Amino acid sequence: MTLTATGTATFIDHGYLIDIVTLRNDYEAWIYCEGDGVKHLMFGMPKEQQSYEEFCEIVEANINDYRDLCD
């Protein structure tokens, strides 16, 4: 096996869970619902474009556009 992610942080927003995954060169945001075994990729961005904190702010600002993936 090969390690691909260096860390994952999970956030909760009104029953939706958001995983922010830190990869070698990128950040990814995944959304899923509590009790659901399926995660949906919201989007990813290269690390060189923004800091981790800025990426989290972008994800938070766009959650509403991705909630319907879980319905």
pLDDT tens profile 45-55: 999 999 999 99
Mean pLDDT, the chain, rounded, equals 91
Q: What total of structural domains would you count in the chain?
A: 1
Q: Flag the least confident range among 2-6, 29-33, 63-67.
A: 2-6
Arithmetic mean of pLDDT, 27-38: 91
Q: Between these two residues, 36 and 49, which has the higher pLDDT value?
A: 49
- Kind plus residue range of the DSSP H or E element containing 6: strand 5-13
Cα separation, 12 vs 25, whole angstroms: 25
Look up the domain containing 53 and give its range.
Answer: 5-70
The residue whose two tokens read 């927003």 is 13
- The pLDDT of residue 35 is 80
Amino acid letter, residue 18: I
